[in-house]
Amino acid sequence: MLKMIQFLHSYWAYLVLVVLILATVNALIKFFGDKEFDAKDFRISLFALITMHIQLLLGIILFFTKDYFTTINEMGGMGEVMKNAVMRSNIIEHPLTMIIAVALVTIGYSKHKKKLVSKPKFKILAIFYTLALVLVLAKIPWNLWF
């Protein structure tokens, strides 16, 4: 089961990245182009939200399935984990950064729904989705992707 969850988490990430880039670029282009917010824009931003949340659930399942708590104990505590760059990234940096990115997408999506005019909707989406995209790009384990 661990292999299947890891497989899903690894390959779903490609879809998440593509959809997040699409939603971010869409919001930026339409914000700067003074375009009207339509149903397609709503669906793109919603699909980014959904894919990010599915990826988060897969990541949480993977985190607890890998039993990092035993690894932390075997290494001698969090002090030793923090000294090991790979373990620090896997146990602390990657999960925390991705949780923050998902929170940004969720907040941006929630806030944009409260706006009644197109320009503020795109502004909110552009800000929050761009910040989330930067975080995602910063903490993707690129050495495992290629």
**133 CB-near residues (< 8 Å, 6+ apart):** 20, 21, 24, 101
User: Nearest to residue 30, comparing CAs of 129, 118, 132?
Assistant: 118
Q: What is the pLDDT of residue 75?
A: 87
CA 124 to CA 113: how far, in whole Å?
10
Structural domain tally of the chain? Answer: 1
Is residue 145 included in any domain, yes or no? no
Cβ(21)–Cβ(134) below 8 Å:
no
Q: How far apart are CA 135 and CA 3, in angstroms?
A: 26
Per-residue model confidence as pLDDT tens digits over 108-137:
999 999 999 999 999 999 999 999 999 999
Query: Which residue range(s) make up the domain with 120?
Result: 2-140
Does this model's pTM top 0.75?
Answer: yes
- Over residues 80-119, the pLDDT tens digits come to 989 989 889 989 999 999 999 999 999 999 999 999 999 9
> Residue 122 falls within a domain, yes or no?
yes
Within a domain: residue 64? Answer: yes
Is residue 108, in this structure, part of any structural domain at all?
Answer: yes
* Inside any domain, residue 80: yes
What number of other Cβ atoms are within 10 A of residue 131's Cβ? Answer: 17
